[in-house]
Structures are given as C-alpha cells and as structure tokens.
Amino acid sequence: MSLTGAMNAAVSAMQAQSTALSIISNNLANVSTTGYKASSASFASLLTSGSTTSSSGGVTASKSQNILASGTLVSSSVSTNIAVDGDGFFAVTSGDGSEVYYTRNGAFTVDDDTGYLTNNGYSLLGWPTDADGNVVGGTTETNLEIIDTDKLAGYAAATTSISLDGTLPANAAVGDEYTSELELYDSLGTAYTMNVTWTKTDVNTWTMSFGDLTTGDGTVDSSASVTTTPSTVTITFNSDGTLASPEAATLSISGMSDGASTMSVSLDFGTANASDGLSQYTPDDSSSSTTVDIACTGNGCAYGTLSGVTIDEDGTVYANYSNGKAISIYKIPLATFSNANGLTEMSNSVYSASSNSSGASYHFANSDGVGSIQSSELEESTTDTNTEFSSMIAAQQAYSAASQVISTAKDMFDSLLSAVR
C-alpha cells in the first residue's frame, strides 16, 4: 500500500543520509591527512517493482572518490618529504617488496634502523642507479627495490682525470726547471700530493716529469710505481702563447701501500690554439721563483660518510657525503593507471591495484606526461571544509524531512485505524 511505500522510502532516505553524513565525517576527520582524497555520496533512486501508481521505492547512497584530484602542495622542513606535482603515484611496499601498493602521501623519512624511506609502515620503492643516475637492471615493476639510503654508507673516489690551468714563463732559458703540485686520491680515499717538474727543452717546448707519491703527513709511499704514457710528456706552445695541439697523456700509479687499485689519470692540458688550459707568457715581474702557479682540478675525493639524502624533481635520489660529494643511488618512478579511480582504497592513503584500475605503468618523473617530484613539500588533503559543512547541513535537513514523512505516515495510519474502529 502507498503509506507503507512512503515509510519505506523515508527509511531508505534516512539510511542514505546517514551514509552521506558518515562520508562527510570521514572527510572532515582527514582534513589534515597528507595525500587524502575526499569522498562524496552518490545517490540513486530505487523503484518499487511492478508499481503502476507510485514510485516510492526510495533511495540508496554509495561512496565515490576522485583519486585523481590533486591537493595543494605545502612546504616541509624534511628533505625526504616529497609530493607529486601532476599525475602519478609513488610505489610502496609494506613488506619485502613482493606486494606493491600506491600512494600520493609522500611524508617519507629515513628509518634509523634500516635506512629505508618509510611512511606509516610503508617503504618507498625505486630503481637502483649508477653514480651518474642511469637506471641499472631495467625499468619494470620487477626491478623495483626498497630505497635503502645506507646502500653506500661511505664514499671515496679515485682521481681519474686532472685539468691543468696556468702559465709557464716564456722568458725561461732552455734547461730551466719549475715545479708545481698535483693533488690525487686513490680508490680508498687516501689523499696524496705529487711534485711536477716542468723543464724547458726548446723554444716554446716543455717536458713534464713526476715526483714521488707523498701522503698528507709528508711520508713518501716508496712502494708506489709512477709511469706515464707517453714516457716523456711534451707540451708545445704557439708563438702567441696559446697551446699547440695538445698531446694526450695518462699518468699511471700502481702498488700503493694501502692496497688501493691502480690509478689511471688522464691529463687535460686545454684546447688547441687557446689559452683555456696551459699557456706560455712572459711574467710581468722579475721574480726568480722556481715554482709556477698551475691549478690542477681533479675528480677524486677523500672518504666521506653519509650526511643526508636529497631528491631531485626527476626522482633521482642522491646520497650526500661529508666530503661534499652527492652520488645518485636510486630513481623514484611514478605509476599511472588507465582508471585510477578504480584503485582499492586502504588505510594511510594507500591504494592497491584492482581489475577495475588495471595494472600500473611506470614512468620517469617529469616525463611522459606525468608530474614532477617536489622535495621538501607535501600534498594536502583535498577536503574542502566549506563544501563539507554545506553537505552536512543538506544531509541534516534531508534526514529531518524523511523523519517527518515517517511521523506523518504514522498519523495517517492512526487515522485509518480510528475510522475502522
């Protein structure tokens, strides 16, 4: 009967508005939750089957969530807090990496015990790289690893190249000798100095010879062997003082007493017919010094300990060391889905893939149409308190109206029963 249908419809309305209020309450509770995506109630009408006189079947409410909505990015004082500026999700795991989940909550910090970048029990995943930032092993999900900032707890690098920049005296007599100094590091980070002797052998022509390998405290490493290729390093200059066609030269050092690997150091004298490296000019003073100011810039470094981690906008994770070096150790990818709103929501603003979302496609950040990764920033919740309070008032009014329908239907039932009596 119609009165019964009215009451059923009113009850369904109260249930639907209760669901809406629950969703609103959850949104407001997560107004400060990093990466949270606000949900909304979707209402759908219900019709009484076979009814030809009314359609008082009622209403149902379900939860819908726009996972692709982006929250405002806010600054953070933690360098490992990251946010996606654009499309994409971080890949995380709660275990050994065998199960992959996805999130926009980038509040990651370094776990003191494991060295992992973690957030509420989830560890950030990335692809391992070499020191130059190139991904090693592939760019698929199976190649993802838990990012371990302790992967290289310390770092040292042998000198492999040295650029020389300075001026030799053009007024030197044939046979005159001048000295300068090289700074070198072996593969274990031991620092050395080595004297270089510059001998003028002819007009506009000099040779270069190398002294002993000496440690920082002045001790000569007598076991080290020093050779050059070619055996005699000759440097020639043009009549205008610029460097003639430079000869390639390599300095080889082996047998160091600390057990380091053999060093092979390429020497860069500058560009031919230019003065951007070595040059030869007459000095503007009458100094009789037997030293020359030849700047030697090498790429090695002493041993340094891990001092921090930074993340670039393309997702490169750098380990920073006390020796001033920053070494790439991982690349953070961003995952996309053909239907991101089909992801299954979990706690801590984490999602799992489902048959509705499809599998993840992985991309380098800031490429392929995905967003960039912003360090020292976090993505705010998409909850809008003004919208939620408006929805709350609407839900309250609809709930009250439905309850009034039930009260009215009851009164009408009472009237009907009185008429029967």
Q: pLDDT at position 134, please?
A: 94
Whether residue 236 contacts residue 170, with contact meaning beta carbons closer than 8 Å, is answered with: no
**Per-residue tokens: 166:** 């300075």
> What would the pLDDT profile of 301-321 be if each residue is shown by its tens digit?
999 999 999 999 999 999 999
Buried b / exposed e over 302-326, threshold 16 CB at 10 Å, is bbbebeebebbeebbbbbbbebebb
Least confident of 34-38, 226-230, 408-412: 408-412
Can you tell me the distance from the alpha carbon of 140 to that of 175, in angstroms, rounded to the nearest whole number? Answer: 63
Specify the CATH architecture of the domain 159-299.
Sandwich (2.60)
Whether residue 70 contacts residue 35, with contact meaning beta carbons closer than 8 Å, is answered with: no
In terms of Cα–Cα distance, which of 154, 91, 102, 152 is closest to 126? 91
Q: pLDDT at position 44, please?
A: 87
Q: Is the pLDDT of residue 290 over 90?
A: no
Confidence (pTM): 0.77
Can you tell me the distance from the alpha carbon of 354 to that of 371, in angstroms, rounded to the nearest whole number? Answer: 23
> What would the pLDDT profile of 121-136 be if each residue is shown by its tens digit?
999 999 999 988 999 9
**Per-residue tokens: 350:** 């984490």
Instruction: State phi, psi for 100 to the nearest 5 degrees.
Output: -105, 135
Provide the β-strand partners of residue 117.
110
Q: pLDDT at position 145, please?
A: 95
Q: Is the pLDDT of residue 53 over 70?
A: no
Least confident of 15-19, 67-71, 95-99: 95-99
Whether residue 161 contacts residue 268, with contact meaning beta carbons closer than 8 Å, is answered with: yes
Can you tell me the distance from the alpha carbon of 1 to that of 22, in angstroms, rounded to the nearest whole number? Answer: 32
**Per-residue tokens: 112:** 């003191």
* Owner of token pair 């490493």: 221
Q: pLDDT at position 410, please?
A: 81
Q: pLDDT at position 284, please?
A: 78
**Per-residue tokens: 284:** 């503007």
Q: pLDDT at position 291, please?
A: 84
Instruction: State phi, psi for 187 to the nearest 5 degrees.
Output: -65, -15
Can you tell me the distance from the alpha carbon of 169 to that of 180, in angstroms, rounded to the nearest whole number? Answer: 13
Q: Is the pLDDT of residue 72 over 70?
A: yes
> What would the pLDDT profile of 195-234 be if each residue is shown by its tens digit?
999 999 999 999 999 999 999 888 999 999 999 999 999 9
Whether residue 175 contacts residue 199, with contact meaning beta carbons closer than 8 Å, is answered with: yes
**Per-residue tokens: 278:** 């070595």
Whether residue 253 contacts residue 266, with contact meaning beta carbons closer than 8 Å, is answered with: no
Domain locations in the chain as residue ranges: 2-66+382-420, 73-151+327-379, 159-299
The band of 179, judged by pLDDT with boundaries at 50, 70 and 90, is: very high
Least confident of 54-63, 370-379, 410-419: 54-63
**Per-residue tokens: 102:** 């996805």
The band of 55, judged by pLDDT with boundaries at 50, 70 and 90, is: low
Q: Is the pLDDT of residue 2 over 80?
A: no
Q: What percent of the chain has pLDDT over 70?
A: 97
